[in-house]
Chains A and B, each alone.
Chain A
Amino acid sequence: MSVKDDLYYSEDHEWIREEEEYLLIGITDFAQEELGDIVFVELPEVDEEFDKDDSFGVLESVKAVSDTFIPISGRVIEVNEDLIDNPELINDDPYGDGWLIKVDPADDSELDELLSAEEYAEFIEEE
């Protein structure tokens, strides 16, 4: 199970990478492992706005279905269209090609409330 150092994490198993112009959001290696083979993805529309912890999408695996919750308030500026035809990218590369959305954050300070890599690693240890 891998946890990347340079990311922020939520207790709902999403990660955030801070880029210059936006935030990149995906689900963690732990989350994709728990879900199993992902077969369908529902993502939001570009320009949709969400409050922190809102459900912004749905991931469906062979056995189960689960909501994804946005770890930070903001506006969606891009979604990963590749996932529509290749949802397995999330299983194969959760921190890379399997990213879900790019977000323009409403309030950068919300990042401070998220978990560090170390804290997240501890959190999943307890789960």
Chain B
Amino acid sequence: MKKTPLNQLHKDLGAKMTNFGGWEMPVEYNGIIEEHKAVRNQCGLFDISHMGEILVSGEKAFESLQRIITNDMEKLEESKIIYTPICNKNGGIIDDLLVYCLKDDEFLLVVNASNIKKDFDWVKENILDNTTVENLSDNYAMLALQGPESKKVLTQLTDIDLNLLEYYRFRKAKAAGIEMIISRTGYTGELGYELYFEPEEAENVWKQLMEAGFDFGIKACGLGARDTLRLEKMLALYGNDIGEETNPYEANMGWTVVLNKGYFIGREKLINIKANCCSKKLTPLKITGRGVARHGHQVYAADKKIGEITSGSYSPSLKQGIALAYLKSEYTDPGTKIEIEVRKRRVAAEVIAGPFV
């Protein structure tokens, strides 16, 4: 299993470790619910150094990426970030990622850990001449500082004015005494920052942040809380909710596909898919009965199978089961009553309108 530079520190903190896409990662330190609540109410710190970083640079870098991603590169300018899927020819999602505009001919792709090699090969295969693709994943440690108090915590360690850093913007700046990328992004639906810097400094930066956050109730948080936090905000998880067998439209990510920007891979199919969208849709469900729906559970309306759960968990904020499922379109209206088969038992659930919290 691969290890992040903080592996030993997590173990010293008593974290429960798990294999996540080939990486030995902390699931929880003192309990998922406690960590989840810290991020919703105060602040939490996550090691997400397993995420991949791919640098695309050169004269044709912009043009190359415009042909690879579904979102529009024209939305970028230096210090801006966009979220985008990359799709295959059939409109299936190869990965979802962030594109950082470092310079007008230099872009950093931040990709899911389990897709680093696949993405790197795909980008390399599909770039134009005079473009360089480098896998820099081992050159970066990455921490996510998330929660309403995160600005106050980070402010203590940097001279830049974080009030000026808008959502989906980043700055290269000094924090905790070292050069890093400070990015106002995250996967929790809270105010927060993602920090990229050299791996040798990981322990140093982690410790300074935990110390700066002490008075604000900061907690070390694992992937368990990361999952419940993102699910409550209906943020898709690659491999669960989206993948090569699903397209951005049925995943409610139509806003990340810009069909009128000119050619890009998958465009032709996606035009069709949009016109006929969609026979199934990723739909948020609240479990009204007792129980927790999990990935792979079947969804029914009376005796008819209408879909399958892609993500399901207990929601620490709502204190009940919540889930995302691909359901046949006729069953996706908010208020629709459905049932989920949980361990050979039918549990009542209901379609809801939007994010859970």
Q: Report A's interface with B, CB cutoff 8 A.
A: 36-37, 39-40, 42, 58, 60-63, 65, 91
Contacts and interface: CB of A to CB of B under 8 A. Distances in A.
Contacts of B219: none
Given A63-B224, A65-B343, A37 B290 contact: no
A63 B291 contact: no
A83 to B, nearest CB: 12
A123 B316 CA distance: 33
Contacts of A39: 292, 314, 319
Contacts of B17: none
Given A39-B314, A40-B292, A63 B343 contact: no
Nearest to B291: A40
A36 B294 CA distance: 16
Given A36-B16, A36-B224, A65-B343, A60 B28 contact: no
A67 B34 CA distance: 24
Interface of B is mostly: mixed
A63 B227 CA distance: 9
Given A36-B28, A39-B314, A65-B343, A60 B292 contact: yes
Contact of B343 (A37, A58, A61): A58
B103 to A, nearest CB: 42
Chain A binding surface SS class? strand
A103 to B, nearest CB: 23
A62 B321 CA distance: 9
A63 B27 contact: yes
Contacts of A91: 31
Interface in B306-320: 313-314, 316, 319
Contacts of B313: 62-63
A60 B32 contact: no
B345 to A, nearest CB: 9
Nearest to B31: A37
Contacts of A63: 27, 32, 224, 313
Contact of B32 (A40, A42, A62): A62
Contacts of A65: 292, 294, 343
5 contacts: A37-B33, A40-B291, A42-B290, A62-B33, A63-B224
Contacts of B33: 37, 62
B245 to A, nearest CB: 25
Contacts of A36: 16, 27-28, 31-32, 224
Nearest to B223: A63
Contacts of A42: 290
Contacts of B291: 40, 60
